[in-house]
Amino acid sequence: MVTFFKIYYRQLKEIISAIISPPFCEHCKIFLETRSVFCDECKLLIRPIVSHPLQIDPGFTVPVYALGSYNGILKRLITAKKYSNLLASHQLGQLLSQHVAWKTIKCDIVVPMPLDWRERIRQGYNPAYEIAKEIALVREVPLKSLLTKSQDNNGSFFTVNVGLGQQLQYARKHIVIVDDVMLNALALRKAIHVLQVLKPASISILVGARSLVV
């Protein structure tokens, strides 16, 4: 029954979107029959890259899974402006749900990278959350917003927003942190340090695109 409503809701959303703005490919501008940021041919322009570990501390690395490097059509998808922004995040989530090596990813929970309140107001929504929502739906894994981002005089920092009483339920779970792009890994490193208080079995990073120099 839940699945039926999900499908119904999606179809309704597509119909409304098609009326508001007919779908066309953001790259080659051809009209599309179904709502999508890119046509199937343009999606093939995304060059996949292999998983590459990120060092967090000496002797501690986490795997990073990405659709590709941050350039070309993928960069365009992530920086998609105006109306298609939210759609681009959903599409990125769909691509990530299907086109990374899920057989090798250990995933019990997806955790979106948070924005602080100023960023949220400026952007209107959190792309990482929208991407994670799509992945959670397609991969049928729970989404938990376990992190909060704040700012002080020393810059941004993260806290785990789980009470002590609830922390135990995340112990020995495989956590996958989701973000749209990893350029420098500063924020992700901070977030991973903080998440370790939950004593998860593993932490992995899943991003739409990554810079190849970190």
Name the residues that contact Zn ion, by CB under 5 A: 25, 27-28, 39, 42
What is d(CA 20, CA 121) in angstroms, rounded to the nearest whole number?
24
Tell me the torsion sign for CA atoms 49, 196, 118, 21.
Answer: positive
Q: Which is nearer to Zn ion, 39 or 135 (CB)?
A: 39
Nearest approach in angstroms of CB 207 to Zn ion is 23
Nearest approach in angstroms of CB 39 to Zn ion is 3
Q: Which is nearer to Zn ion, 27 or 174 (CB)?
A: 27
What is d(CA 31, CA 79) in angstroms, rounded to the nearest whole number?
21
Q: Which is nearer to Zn ion, 40 or 152 (CB)?
A: 40
Q: Which is nearer to Zn ion, 23 or 114 (CB)?
A: 23
Calculated CA dihedral for residues 58, 63, 66, 69, nearest 10 degrees? 30
Nearest approach in angstroms of CB 109 to Zn ion is 34
What is d(CA 214, CA 211) in angstroms, rounded to the nearest whole number?
6
**Are the CB atoms for 40 and 99 separated by under 8 Å?**
no
Nearest approach in angstroms of CB 180 to Zn ion is 21
